Structure 1
Amino acid sequence: MASLASKLLLTGKAIFSWLFRQISQRFKQLIYSNDSADYIAWRNQFLWRRLGLCFWVAFPVIFCSFVLDCYRIFYLNQTEFYPQELKHLLVIENLVMGFFLLVCLKFHKTKFGRKYPGALFLCVFFSLTLIQQIIGTFCGVAILNLGGWGLTFTAQATIMPVRWRLHLLSQLLLLGYYIGVNSVLGFTNLYRSYPLITVELILFIFWFCFICDLGVYSYDRLQRNEFESRRELRIFLHAISHDLCTPLMGNAIVFQNLLKKSDSEVIVSSKILKRLLEGNSRQINLIQSLREAYTLEVQGVKLHCEPIKVSTVVNSVLYDLEPFIRENNTTVHNLLSDNLPLICADPTQLSRVFSNLISNALKHNPYEITLTIDANPQGEKILCRVRDNGVGITQNQCKRIFELYTRGENARFMPGLGLGLYVCRQVIIAHGGNIGVQSQPGIGSTFWFTLPIIE
Structure 2
Amino acid sequence: MPNAQCPMPNNYQASRFTVILGLFLTVILMEFSTPTEYVFGYLYTGPILLTNAWYGRIATFYATLIAVGFTILNLFWPENETIKASTIASRAIAVLALMVTGILSDRLRRSQEAIAIARAKLESQAELVKVREDFASTITHDLKTPLLGAIETIKAFQQEKFGSVSPTQQQVLATMARSHQTSLQLLETLLDIYRNDTEGLKLNLAPVDLTNLAEDAASSLIELAANRRVHLAVSYGDSDWRRALWVQGDALQLQRVFNNLLVNAINHSRRGGRVEVVLEPQTNYQVVKILDTGAGIETAELPHIFERFYQGHSDRQAKGSGLGLYLSRQIITAHGGIIWAENRLPTGAMFAFKLPVYPI
Name the count of aligned residue pairs. 246
Which letter maps to 1:208? R
Q: Are 2:105 and 1:204 equivalent residues in the alignment? A: yes
Q: Which residue of 2 aligns with 1:358?
A: 262
SS in 1 for 2:115: helix
Q: Which residue of 1 aligns with 2:32?
A: none
Corresponding residue to 1:373 among 277, 287, 298: 277
Q: Which residue of 2 aligns with 1:398?
A: 302
SS in 1 for 2:355: strand
Which letter maps to 1:298? E
Using the size of structure 1 for normalisation, the TM-score is 0.42
Q: Which residue of 1 aligns with 2:212?
A: 312
Q: Are 2:332 and 1:428 equivalent residues in the alignment? A: yes
CA 1:306–1:261: 2 relative to 1, 3 Å: farther
SS in 2 for 1:338: coil
Which string of whole-angstrom CA distances, capped at 9 and with x for unpartnered residues, describes residues 224-262 of structure 1?
A: 465467658868969x97xx99xx9xx99xx89xx9979
Superposed counterparts of 1:12-161, under 5 Å = 150=56
CA 1:202–1:294: 2 relative to 1, 3 Å: same
Q: Which residue of 2 aligns with 1:332?
A: 232
Q: Which residue of 2 aligns with 1:347?
A: 251
CA displacement at 1:384 relative to structure 2: 0.7
* More off after superposition, 397-406 vs 376-385: 397-406
SS in 2 for 1:376: strand
CA 1:446–1:327: 2 relative to 1, 3 Å: same
Distance 2:340 2:277 in 1: 15
CA displacement at 1:395 relative to structure 2: 5.2
RMSD after superposition: 5.2
CA displacement at 1:146 relative to structure 2: 6.2
CA displacement at 1:449 relative to structure 2: 1.1
Which string of whole-angstrom CA distances, capped at 9 and with x for unpartnered residues, describes residues 380-401 of structure 1?
A: 2211111223343345543343
Which string of whole-angstrom CA distances, capped at 9 and with x for unpartnered residues, describes residues 105-142 of structure 1?
A: xxxxxxxxxxxxxxxxxxxxxxxxxxxxxxxxxxxxxx
Which letter maps to 2:66? S
Structure 1 stretches of 5 or more lacking a match? 1-56, 66-79, 81-144, 151-174, 179-187, 263-282
CA 1:407–1:222: 2 relative to 1, 3 Å: farther
SS in 1 for 2:341: strand
Using the size of structure 2 for normalisation, the TM-score is 0.51
Which letter maps to 1:193? I
Q: Which residue of 1 aligns with 2:357?
A: 453
- Equivalent pair of 2:285/2:354 in contact (CA under 8 Å): yes
- Equivalent pair of 2:286/2:356 in contact (CA under 8 Å): yes
Corresponding residue to 1:220 among 102, 107, 121: 121
Q: Which residue of 1 aligns with 2:341?
A: 437
Distance 2:119 2:346 in 1: 47
Q: Are 2:93 and 1:193 equivalent residues in the alignment? A: no
CA displacement at 1:450 relative to structure 2: 1.3
% identical aligned pairs: 21
Structure 2 stretches of 5 or more lacking a match? 11-20, 22-50, 70-97, 160-164, 169-183
Q: Which residue of 2 aligns with 1:389?
A: 293
- Equivalent pair of 1:391/1:442 in contact (CA under 8 Å): no
Which letter maps to 1:214? I
Which string of whole-angstrom CA distances, capped at 9 and with x for unpartnered residues, describes residues 78-131 of structure 1?
A: xx9xxxxxxxxxxxxxxxxxxxxxxxxxxxxxxxxxxxxxxxxxxxxxxxxxxx
- Equivalent pair of 2:53/2:109 in contact (CA under 8 Å): no
CA displacement at 1:355 relative to structure 2: 0.3
Distance 1:379 1:448 in 2: 17
CA 1:225–1:437: 2 relative to 1, 3 Å: farther
CA displacement at 1:416 relative to structure 2: 7.5
Distance 1:315 1:408 in 2: 29
- Equivalent pair of 1:391/1:414 in contact (CA under 8 Å): no
SS in 2 for 1:371: strand
Bigger Rg, which one = 2
